[in-house]
Amino acid sequence: MNITDRFLKYVSFTTTSDEKTNLTPSTPGQMIFARYLVDELKSIGMKEITLDKNGYVMATLPANTDKDVPVIGFISHMDTSPDASGKNVKPRVVENYDGSDILLNEEKLILFETDKYPEILQYKGQDIIVTDGTTLLGADDKAGLAEIVTAMEYLTEHPEIKHGKIRIGFTPDEEIGQGADHFDVKKFDAVWAYTMDGGEIGELEFENFNAASAKVTINGLNVHPGYAKHKMKNSMRIATQFVSMLPRHETPEHTEGYEGFYHLTNIEGTVEKTLLTYIIRDHDRDRFERRKKEIQHLANKINAEYGENTAIVEMRDQYYNMREKVEPVMHVVDLAFEAMKAVDVKPNVKPIRGGTDGARLSFEGLPCPNIFAGGHNFHGRFEYVPVQSMEKAMMVIVKIVELLEKKS
């Protein structure tokens, strides 16, 4: 199966994750997709294929060389982001893209405008997979899955390419920060790995945000509004006060590069109770810790004004910057860099303004830098992926294992 058909098949599965279920995987569609992947891996000749009760898929492509080659792995995630619908995805391939705006949905007049997303112009003449403008596409990270499986199939069909033992792993629930929760590093048994979970072609990343989630509960008191003076505590109004106390320009829409942020992702409220959900991000560990303290500090100020336990903060660290774990073994990054250049991809080494399963796995003893999967505009209705970028990512995987065997 070619990489385009494989990707189009993958996005037909509904695998949106949901942090509210407290299950692993968090949604049943992920397990359905995992079973499909297991069958596919069997069909292309993979060995040691496992699917555990938590939805983690692992498999092996055995070595075809007598050399002592380090075991390495490639990892992607099966879920898609809950930020946009991933149900009934209707992808379309725009062949030989001509550089003009793309009408995604004629019925609803949804237009992909190049002046809003000019990055697409660099792919003029290529084949672009887009949505119908009503759902996300799922290139994050089904493009990565398709690239890994296609690379394994290619290596099986081309035994003249010598390589060591290769492990692959597919995880659930990465998009809700739980992808590495039940990943068995010992069972995976690789010296290092790569997540195929980056963005546009050429991205190569070994540093990422430190990340935490924060839930701020504002407790109020409801009284009939006609008799509420000096009695009512409107939790929604207090919540908006809390929101306004955070730096207004330290948000995703005002930051780039190494700049961190506070991101309000959800508000649910009544007069009696309002819940604010935040994610906190910063590449620098000290600034990250200060951001967490600032959330608690502002909650303390609310409590000083409105009474004890008006604002209650629940904080949870999600992952840390993998740089401190990858820098001591920079040869794993250098290998990917060399592989990209060998297949005519210009490496773009940059920090991830986000995180991957590899960030947490790096702290569990599996150094795991991140390689591009090829997509753009992840988590939204205007997501797209060039076919040629996926093909190049697949070639990078093949070249990594080939170069490693030659160097061993």
User: Catalytic site residues?
Assistant: 79, 174
Q: 392 in helix, strand or coil?
A: helix
Contact assessment for residue 72 and residue 191, using Cβ atoms and an 8 Å cutoff: yes
Tokens representing 97 are 């893209």
- Closest by CA to 69, choosing from 397, 405, 330, is 405
CA distance 359 to 281: 14
Contact assessment for residue 250 and residue 261, using Cβ atoms and an 8 Å cutoff: yes
CA distance 147 to 144: 5
E-strand ranges in 57-117 read: 57-61, 72-77, 92-94, 102-105, 110-112
Q: 299 in helix, strand or coil?
A: helix
Q: Which residues pair with 280 in a beta bridge?
A: 212, 262
Cα-to-chain-centroid distance, residue 309: 35
Beta-strand pair 72-77/166-171: parallel
Q: How many CA atoms lie within 13 A of 105 on its CB side?
A: 14
Residue by residue, DSSP assigns 317-377 as EEE--THHHHGGGTHHHHHHHHHHHHTT---EE--BSS--HHHHHHHTT----EEE---BS
CA distance 94 to 130: 7
